[in-house]
Amino acid sequence: MTNQNNEPQETKQESGKPVVEEQETRNAGEENQSQTQPEQQTYQQQHAQQQAYQQQFTQQTRRKQSGGFFSFDKMITPSIIKGIFIVGLIIIVLLALVILLESVLLSVAILIFGPLIWRIYCELMIVIFKIHESLERIRHK
């Protein structure tokens, strides 16, 4: 309760503890309500942006899924090249171990330069497919 000067007034409860009610608390509640309107507008804008993004993502996904295995719209070779790279490394190491019985120097050379050359070759293959993907994105714009 407040008096005429808007000063807090103490009232006693049954437990004997004073309770203070302030006019400022009511005013603060009104300010919070006025602040929620801009926050709601911001939330609505963010929600609209999120829905637009989801719609765009769905359209892109449908476009990618519209082609199948036989349409050649999506290249599967880059993911296969990564697996082939690991298999190639294993073969290079095994080859170096076999050659180790004959020539230590040649085996060390194969262990050093073999994986490096193999990596460069696989990267060049992936770069070719990345160029293809970039050209496809440009074409769809």
Strand, helix or coil for residue 3 = coil
pLDDT band at 81 (very low <50, low <70, confident <90, very high): very high
Burial of 53 (0-12, 13-18, 19+ CB in 10 A): exposed
Contacts of 140 (CB under 8 A, 6+ apart): 63
Most confident of 12-16, 64-68, 113-117: 113-117
| Percent of residues, the chain, with pLDDT higher than 90 | 36
Q: Which residue has better confidence, 15 or 98?
A: 98
**CA dist 4 → 23, 27, 31, 53, 74 (Å):** 11, 16, 22, 56, 77
Per-residue pLDDT, 4: 53
Express each pLDDT in 49-68 by its tens digit. Answer: 888 777 776 666 565 555 56
What amino acid is encoded at 135 in this protein? L
Per-residue pLDDT, 84: 95
Neighbours of 110 (CB within 10 A): 20
Q: Count the residues in the chain.
A: 141
Domain locations along the chain: 6-68, 75-141
Lowest mean pLDDT among 4-13, 51-60, 94-103: 4-13
pLDDT band at 97 (very low <50, low <70, confident <90, very high): very high
